[in-house]
């Protein structure tokens, strides 16, 4: 993958973990940050690196992305006397790779980072592209850094133990890539949704590869997410469905899966896009068919709109008091809408009831 800090490899394969020792350079020691439930995997990986390893267990899911956990990781690296040639490895879903990447970005102002995503969502999105960070109660990913890994290892065999609900949540980001950029993804999902959600199928492998390609292409062109204008959209396109999705996550106290929240966000955005950008009814219905067909939610508490709208003001795409959202005028054509009409947003939210 091309990047601001130099190209790096994203290894996608069953068995790709064999690439790990080759990514460690001259590291004297390694820290492996992993969620508590994935301790056996972290231990297995630790046994292959041929250097002293500090295992750092962090809480599972969004509970990892807090300032308290970040602080605990820093203190563990201090105790281990971690220096600038040592390597942080993040093994886990997107919550772990977001946290671990930020630990690596901030420790000594930056030490090498290797990402080993173990969920679909982390493989296709969170672990590639260099966004790292943690949440605050006020909003999602409000603290973080753009910081690139030296390599990413997507060992598809690790997905054999991933719960089906998490496979499907990850496919929400894959579909996002189809809606904003690669329409073949939408076709592949439409042809056979059950096969698309089967992690052992060739269709699934193609979907993962295509989604990573979309992300890599977008990020290579606009690593630091410049401000898009209308149809001239850079990295902000990857935020389709996220303005509402992130607000839902914060409102729910980070108890929702990210993929579930952005499924609602994309269903909502498709309606806003129909009203403001002329997206056709068939494409709106396709959002519901594909996301709903995967068992993903298409709605959130109706009474929460005002609170969600207030949280949305802290979205990173906002400029001053102006909300900005990503919509699509057709599949593959993202458009950034500045100051979307409030009535349209409310009506689109009501439509989800």
Q: Please tell me the distance from the alpha carbon of residue 45 to that of residue 23, in angstroms, as a whole number.
A: 13
Q: Residue 119 in contact with residue 166, Cβ under 8 Å? A: yes
DSSP code at position 298: -
**Residues for the chain: how many in total?**
353
| Residue range at the interface with ligand LNCXM5UN (CB under 6 A); choices 64-72, 124-132, 156-164, 204-212 | 124-132
Q: Please tell me the distance from the alpha carbon of residue 341 to that of residue 272, in angstroms, as a whole number.
A: 9
Q: Please tell me the distance from the alpha carbon of residue 52 to that of residue 96, in angstroms, as a whole number.
A: 21
Q: Which helix (H) or strand (E) holds 116?
A: strand 113-117
Q: Please tell me the distance from the alpha carbon of residue 315 to that of residue 105, in angstroms, as a whole number.
A: 22
DSSP code at position 319: B
When asked if residue 259 is in the footprint of ligand NAD (CB under 6 A), the reply is yes
When asked if residue 100 is in the footprint of ligand NAD (CB under 6 A), the reply is no
* Residue 239 binds which of ligand LNCXM5UN, ligand NAD, none (CB < 5-8 A, kind-dependent): ligand LNCXM5UN
* Residue 92 binds which of ligand NAD, ligand LNCXM5UN, none (CB < 5-8 A, kind-dependent): ligand NAD
CA distance readout (Å), 33 to 1, 95, 117: 23, 11, 11
Name residues whose C-beta falls within 8 Å of residue 281's C-beta, 6 or more positions apart in sequence: 274
When asked if residue 182 is in the footprint of ligand LNCXM5UN (CB under 6 A), the reply is no
**Selection from 339, 291, 294 nearest residue 315 by Cα:** 339
Beta bridge partners of 136: 139
**Which one of 242, 274, 287, 333 is the catalytic residue?**
242
Smallest distance from ligand NAD to CB 257, Å: 6
When asked if residue 148 is in the footprint of ligand LNCXM5UN (CB under 6 A), the reply is no
Smallest distance from ligand NAD to CB 54, Å: 20
DSSP code at position 113: E
Catalytic site includes residue 131: yes
Q: Please tell me the distance from the alpha carbon of residue 50 to that of residue 24, in angstroms, as a whole number.
A: 10
Beta bridge partners of 324: 338
Smallest distance from ligand LNCXM5UN to CB 141, Å: 3
283 is in an annotated binding site: no
**Which one of 34, 210, 225, 236 is the catalytic residue?**
225
Smallest distance from ligand LNCXM5UN to CB 155, Å: 21
When asked if residue 315 is in the footprint of ligand NAD (CB under 6 A), the reply is no
When asked if residue 65 is in the footprint of ligand LNCXM5UN (CB under 6 A), the reply is no
**Interacting residues toward ligand LNCXM5UN by CB under 6 A:** 125, 129, 131, 140-141, 173, 225, 235, 238-239, 242, 316
**Interacting residues toward ligand NAD by CB under 6 A:** 35, 37-38, 60-62, 65, 92-96, 98, 118-119, 121-122, 125-126, 129, 131, 141, 158-159, 161-162, 166, 169-170, 173, 257-259
Q: Which residues are catalytic?
A: 109, 131, 173, 215, 225, 235, 239, 242, 246, 258
Binding-site residue ranges for Zn(2+) = 173, 242, 258
């Amino acid at each position: 993958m091309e990047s601001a800090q130099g190209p790096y490899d994203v290894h996608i394969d069953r068995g790709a973990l064999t690439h790990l020792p080759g990514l460690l350079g001259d590291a004297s020691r390694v820290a492996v940050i992993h969620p508590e439930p994935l301790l056996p995997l972290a231990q297995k990986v630790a046994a292959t690196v041929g250097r002293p390893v500090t295992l750092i267990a962090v809480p599972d899911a969004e509970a990892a992305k807090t300032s308290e956990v970040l602080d605990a990781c820093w203190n563990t690296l201090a105790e281990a006397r971690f220096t600038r040639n040592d390597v942080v490895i993040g093994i886990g879903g997107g919550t772990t790779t977001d946290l671990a990447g930020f630990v690596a970005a901030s420790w000594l102002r930056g030490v090498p980072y290797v990402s080993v995503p173990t969920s679909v969502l982390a493989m296709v999105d969170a672990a590639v592209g260099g966004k790292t960070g943690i949440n605050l109660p006020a909003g999602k990913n409000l603290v973080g850094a753009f910081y690139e890994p030296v390599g990413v290892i997507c060992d598809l065999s690790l997905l054999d133990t991933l719960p089906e609900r998490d496979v499907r949540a990850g496919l929400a980001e894959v579909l996002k890539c189809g809606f904003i950029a690669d329409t073949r993804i939408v076709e592949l999902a439409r042809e056979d949704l059950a096969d698309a959600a089967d992690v052992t199928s060739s269709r699934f492998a193609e979907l993962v590869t295509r989604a990573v390609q979309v992300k890599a292409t977008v990020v290579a062109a606009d690593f630091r997410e410049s401000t898009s204008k209308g149809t001239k959209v850079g990295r902000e396109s990857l935020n389709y469905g996220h303005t509402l999705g992130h607000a839902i996550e914060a409102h729910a106290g980070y108890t929702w899966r990210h993929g579930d929240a952005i499924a609602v966000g994309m269903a909502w955005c498709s309606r806003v896009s129909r009203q403001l950008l002329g997206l056709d009814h068939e494409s709106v219905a396709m959002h519901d068919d594909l996301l709903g067909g995967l068992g993903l939610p298409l709605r959130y508490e109706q009474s929460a709109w005002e609170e969600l709208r207030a949280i949305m003001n802290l979205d990173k795409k906002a400029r001053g008091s102006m909300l900005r959202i990503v919509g699509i005028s057709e599949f593959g054509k993202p458009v950034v809408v500045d100051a979307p009409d409030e009535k349209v947003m409310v009506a689109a939210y009501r439509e989800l009831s």
